[in-house]
Structure 1
């Protein structure tokens, strides 16, 4: 599903040096590290938005940084889902309208199974401003998963939530990965959440170090 080999990247200092990893369908991988260690940089490289200075990233066997532009855009549109710490919902709109915009952009139907899993169905008529932080993040994630991406990249997806809500939201995401046999790579500062992933790493001194 996802294979990265010998990734290197740096600006004024080296951030990544010969980093390698692999992920199959239905598997999860977490990345921890102090601020500035390069976690988000690595995530951006893996998700096709930042070309490494060395090494390669293969998704479904294709080196994504040698793909023609039209094929790379199709990969991003159809197979890659990116979840951010901030929910980026449209304020002033209802939950239903936010989902409809996402479905329109992706060309996919709103997935009732995903809505049910994330407990979204009952809040569809509500305005975004009336939802709790946990509800907004669950809606944000469900909106991204509408297109049923095969690989999900999440950058501190629960960083703005209290720990109990964060664990609840992440468990729903793990359940979704198992249900759909997609793959998940996520960045977190929480060691307990990190260790819930099948593969857990800390990015330290340009290298990925296993947590377990």
Structure 2
């Protein structure tokens, strides 16, 4: 469970952006199992629903995160200190803090949805990957900059796991990764501006709080 939560936290924070009122839908396939991921962004607040199993709510202004496990009706709250401790544990478990290898352009192109993409490959201590990059994606520079800012705020171990968003000259609309021996395919289905209500960022009152496992002092 700890490993799943660490990877979920990394994946979630990579989606945090500075734009308000955006709704993104991704299709994620892990070892053959397909899951739809819905992301709602309003200012500094982000909510990510991973199927019907888990929801993550993050406030970029306070660096506070809440994970909701719906089947058990429990929640885990994490502040900035806890998040950095979690990422330090992840970095140690995954082989240290060596800088991530840079992605390499293959010169190949392929259309993904409505976007003409350039294909990049990557190989690092965590695994290997293939990325489809759309240079015509709206606001990709701002989105990538916001992503990298959040990654650096979490602590240096994260930088050794995967390429930085700013390493790409566009938006990653599809990726195929082999991480710790597991296949992970992610594809951006849609992104649109849509009013997001503040209420979606409020944790339910009938969920029981559970302490984050394995964090000293927490």
TM-score, normalised via structure 1 length: 0.29
Greater strand share, 1 or 2?
Answer: 2
Greater helix share, structure number: 1
